[in-house]
Amino acid sequence: MNDLAVVGAGAWGTALAIQAARAGRNVTLWARDPANAAAMEQTRLNPRLPGIRLPGSIRVTAHLPATAAAILLAVPMQHLRGIAERLPPNDAPLVACAKGVEAGTLRLPLEVLAEIRPGNPSAILTGPNFAHEVAEGLPAAATLAGPDAAVRDRIVALLATPSFRLYGNDDAIGAQIGGAAKNVIAIAAGAVIGAGLGENARAALITRSLAELSRLAIALGGRAETVMGLSGLGDLLLTCTGPSSRNFSLGLALGRGEKLADILAARETVTEGVATAPALVARAAGVDMPICIAVATLLAGRTTLAQAMADLLARPRRDE
Neighbour order of strands in the sheet with 164-169: 58-61, 27-30, 4-7, 70-73, 94-96, 122-126, 140-145, 164-169
Please, how many CA atoms are within 13 Å of residue 212, restricted to the half-sphere of its CB? 24
**Three-state SS across 258-274?**
CCHHHHHHCCCCCCHHH
Write down the catalytic residue from 182, 202, 246, 283: 182
Contacting residues for 190 by C-beta, under 8 A, at least 6 apart:
240, 245, 247, 248, 249, 250, 251, 252, 253, 254, 255
User: Within 197-241, where are the H helices?
Assistant: 199-219, 224-227, 235-241
Determine whether 259 is an active site residue. no
Angstrom distance (rounded) from CA 96 to CA 172: 11
Residue 286 corresponds to which amino acid? G
Three-state DSSP state, 122 = strand
Report helix angle 172-194 to 109-116, nearest 10: 140
Greatest Cα-to-Cα distance within the chain, rounded to the nearest angstrom? 61
Q: What is the DSSP letter of 22?
A: H
Report helix angle 290-299 to 305-313, nearest 10: 160
What residues are labeled active site?
182
